[in-house]
Amino acid sequence: MNLLPACVSLYIHIPFCSTLCPFCDFTKLNVNDAQFQDYITACCNEIKQYYKTPKIQLTSIFFGGGTPSLLPTLFLEQLFKAVHATFDCSGLQEITLEANPEDISKEYLQVLTDLGVTRISLGVQTFNDDECKFLGRGHTTKQSHEALKLIKTFSFDLNIDLMFGLPNTSIKNLHHSLNTSVMYTPTHISTYSLTIEPGTLFFRDNIKKATSDEDYSYYSYIIDFLTKHHFFQYEVSSFAKPGYECLHNKRYWQFESYIGVGLGAHSLLNSYRYHTTSSLHNYLKDSTPVIFKPHSKPLSQADLIKENIIANLRTPTGIVFKEYHDRYNFNFLEKYEKQIIQLVQDGLIKKTAHSLKTTKKGLYLLDNVCLSFL
């Protein structure tokens, strides 16, 4: 099928969770062992739809969720078998699996190594027990320490996920989580401000996060702390040691093609943006990707440009004018002159002769910056 590019990244969504965190609005299901096989079979069927000659080349694989580490390794093996049968994996540079601390064991990590997983993203969120309990996590801080010690006995690249902006927190608590994280010498740290999304338990319970001023002070502290510890910020939420950026996520922000497999997963293939159903019943009944169904339509150039802008603004590189001219034959400065002048005056972006870049304040207020171009 000529709609498919020669090279992509692959995201596989594992929606099952042992506990449903009160802040999470991702597509997720309570763990149900009886559904594992049916779900993985549907995923494998979806994957196999992308087979073509010559095979599409994969640059990275990312298992996200939900909680991928809940999945028994038998089913991970089935997924890897389907991936290798469908895609050219000779150029794979990175395979990431998201995991929760309570799922980590020496035996499990050995299986991941044998399957070729190169990177673990551990959902610690906080090293403060009260905050861990507030977030409804299925682990304790003690389990986080135990998991990290085990991971460090293997050769995985390690990302630690942390959250900030919780109600009734403090810089002291944030410092403790950051300082404890760097003690385990991760190659990458991701930090996310708590958001209260409609449909979540926190939203129904009318939980209020930290104020905007407090939240920005936490974000600024994170940037300063991690910079001093030789991490560099290459995306709004992402900090890496040199050479250890998440290659998979960088493809999202560079607006490169990727395939999303599984419940509610999104894909971008050339000019086609689509997603799978969020209904488990419907997915198990038919997991054929939307792009292979009748009446699949590409995005307009205007929509592609807007989505490209949103992706690029997440990174310090920002908007490179020449890239938009080469890709879309589009004069960025001419189209958005008024918006650029206002954003510069507001201190949200910096303009050079060749690009636009968000300031620290602009990264924090990224939604506002993006809306200016939509």
Q: What's the pLDDT score for residue 53?
A: 87
pLDDT of residue 17: 81
The position carrying tokens 């062992």 is 33
Q: List, for residues 45-98, the tens digit of each pLDDT value.
A: 999 999 998 999 999 999 998 899 999 999 999 999 999 999 999 999 999 999
CB neighbour burial string for 309-325, b if at least 16 within 10 angstroms, e if fewer: bbbbbbbebbbbbebbe
3 state DSSP class of 120: strand
Q: How far apart are CA 99 and CA 108, in angstroms?
A: 11
Which class is domain 300-374?
Answer: mainly alpha
Domain extents in the chain: 7-253, 300-374
- Torsion-angle region of residue 312: left (phi > 0), alpha (psi -120 to 50) or beta? alpha
DSSP label of 127 = S
Closest CA to 173 of 146, 147, 135, 200: 135
* CB 164 within 8 Å of CB 219: yes
Q: Which amino acid is at 332?
A: F
**374 residues of the chain, pLDDT tens digit each:** 467 899 999 999 999 887 656 556 555 565 667 789 999 999 999 999 999 989 999 999 999 988 999 999 999 999 999 999 999 999 999 999 999 999 999 999 999 999 999 999 999 999 999 998 888 877 899 999 999 999 999 999 999 999 999 988 999 999 999 999 999 999 999 999 987 777 767 667 777 788 889 999 999 999 999 999 999 999 999 999 999 999 999 999 999 999 999 999 999 998 999 999 999 999 999 999 999 988 888 889 999 999 999 999 999 889 999 999 999 998 999 999 999 999 999 999 999 999 999 998 999 899 999 999 98
Strand, coil or helix: what is 40? helix
> Could you say which architecture CATH assigns to the domain 7-253?
Alpha-Beta Barrel (3.20)
- Using DSSP, state whether 158 is helix, strand or coil: strand
Instruction: Please enumerate in sequence order all residues whose Cβ is within 8 A of that of 162, keeping only pairs 6 or more positions apart, or say none.
Output: 124, 125, 126, 177, 178, 181, 189, 190, 191, 192
